[in-house]
Amino acid sequence: MARLLRAATWGLFPWRGYCSQKAKGELCRDFVEALKAVVGGSHVSTATVVREQHGSDESVHRCEPPDAVVWPQNVEQVSRLAALCYRQGVPIIPFGTGTGLEGGVCAVQGGVCINLTHMDRILELNLEDFSVVVEPGVTRKALNLHLRDSGLWFPVDPGADASLCGMAATGASGTNAVRYGTMRDNVLNLEVVLPDGRLLHTAGQGRHFRLGFWPEIPHHTAWYSPCVSLGPRKSAAGYNLTGLFVGSEGTLGLITATTLRLHPVPEAIVAATCAFPSVQAAVDSTVHILQAAVPVARIEFLDEVMMDACNRYSKLNCSVAPTLFLEFHGSQQALEEQLQRTEEIVQQNGASDFSWAKAAEERSQLWTARHSAWYAALAMRPGCKGYSTDVCVPISRLPEILVQTKEDLNASGLTGSIVGHVGDGNFHCILLVNPDDAEELGRVKAFAEQLGRRALALHGTCTGEHGIGLGKRQLLREEVGAVGVKTMQQLKAVLDPQGLMNPGKVL
């Protein structure tokens, strides 16, 4: 596979070759010593077990280990490492927490894996400007723990406790996206080391313009004052370079810091669960709630298979039926109105076992179970790997595709479940597969490709939040077209003329 991918890139990028007398898995001794000179000998490893740990993520893609792993301590070292690799024609693979689902860390051409987790500082917190600057080693849970007494929080929450810079690199999302947006809406600026070692600040150094929607700032927040400085609310200065690098999956540069938009902690929060007689009823309720303009913060769907798995794995006691998990944020008075309207809607669609969770402990148990759904699914078939689809469609087409997908899954003979952020039209089939069973793996991939093309036919996307990685490159071509792919290739060639940054991914 590595040889095929290397051959495929020869036409697009001139491969210079590094230590050409060595096989993959080996680097010249002088080059390894040069890496050690940059970061110190204890922060470089060529041990097989370490390389294999860095050659795979949570996906079904086979391990493709790098030739070496390095742990820089600061951005200056990252810049020097990139420049060193650039001069020698050595591929670079950025690494955060390794929790991706699309093979984004697989070193398909070997090279150097740059593990950024030792850079774990919160560099700057601007309470009045609702922003924070973090390094790649800071995870979403660590940031919110740091913010716990500030009255602010960061709401983007993929299932894993992922690196925030890694989340920016993949354009991640989560359960709160229906209200607070995805990483694309919440990244204000990026510090990026380009492939040749140059340092780029995508919105200008120290700036934190809000290029997306402006967050609602409730006046009940204790520290809120209409006179505080909220920083520049917009900018029309040049191209949106921040948007270019968000979702670039490590193929254009190494993100060494990200400036994030923060949000006020709501005055009151209430969660709810309700079971439905069918998938159709649950998804219809989702659409009706959104059409009624109920400002729901979270609305998650779990089919009966996933609900049973979560009951077992997370010790819940919910009905084994198609289920919605919901959450509402706002003032006490606003929540009462939202809850009443939502209950009316779901009851009209046949909901049962409707229950509210107002206590923080109850809500935490519910959402911990939801965030653990991936691992609950894996526990259904121990020893197997998970393959997650990631389609997203317009809300109006969600009932059609989700009901059809459930029927297809039941008829496929595959072991799997459905879970999703249905409030923004995004859902996942988590399919369990023996990666050593070529026939079963082929059926899983065929199912995923069929679902991806169905989403495209409904004017959706093949990936709402996981990215393209290794497995969705053909679907990307079908989604954006030949001109779109060519434009991406041209951008890639300008920024990374040797094709060294995370080769084999996206394009």
Q: What is the pLDDT of residues 234-288, one digit of tens each?
A: 889 999 999 999 999 999 999 999 999 999 999 999 999 999 999 999 999 999 9
pLDDT value at position 138?
98
pLDDT value at position 78?
98
Q: What percent of the chain has pLDDT over 90?
A: 86
How far is the C-alpha of 43 from the C-alpha of 54, rounded, in Å? 14
pLDDT value at position 353?
83
Over residues 38-64, mean pLDDT: 96
Residue type at position 34: A
pLDDT value at position 233?
66
pLDDT value at position 105?
97
Q: Is the pLDDT of residue 221 over 60?
A: no
Same domain, 338 and 389: no
Same domain, 390 and 454: yes
Same domain, 312 and 426: no
The CATH number of the domain holding residue 453 is 3.30.70.2740
Same domain, 57 and 153: no
Q: Is the pLDDT of residue 224 over 80?
A: no
Structural domain for 155, as ranges? 122-204+242-264
pLDDT value at position 215?
43
Neighbouring residues of 82: CB distance < 8 A, sequence distance ≥ 6: 92, 114, 193, 194, 195, 196, 197, 254
Residue 392 within a domain: yes
Neighbouring residues of 278: CB distance < 8 A, sequence distance ≥ 6: 322, 350
Q: Is the pLDDT of residue 465 over 80?
A: yes
Count of domains for the chain: 4
Same domain, 426 and 331: no
Over residues 85-101, mean pLDDT: 97
Residue, of 230 and 401, whose pLDDT is higher: 401
Over residues 168-184, mean pLDDT: 96
In 138-163, which positions are buried (b, 16+ CB within 10 angstroms) versus exposed (e)?
A: bbbebbbeebeeeebbbbbbbbbebb
Residue 446 within a domain: yes
| Number of neighbouring beta carbons within 10 Å of residue 429 | 27
**pLDDT tens-digit map of 68-82:** 999 999 999 999 999
Same domain, 179 and 313: no
Confidence class of residue 19 from pLDDT cuts 50, 70 and 90?
low
Q: Is the pLDDT of residue 296 over 70?
A: yes
Confidence class of residue 225 from pLDDT cuts 50, 70 and 90?
very low
Residue, of 212 and 314, whose pLDDT is higher: 314
Over residues 156-169, mean pLDDT: 95
Same domain, 340 and 466: no
**pLDDT tens-digit map of 345-357:** 999 999 988 888 8
Residue, of 208 and 505, whose pLDDT is higher: 505
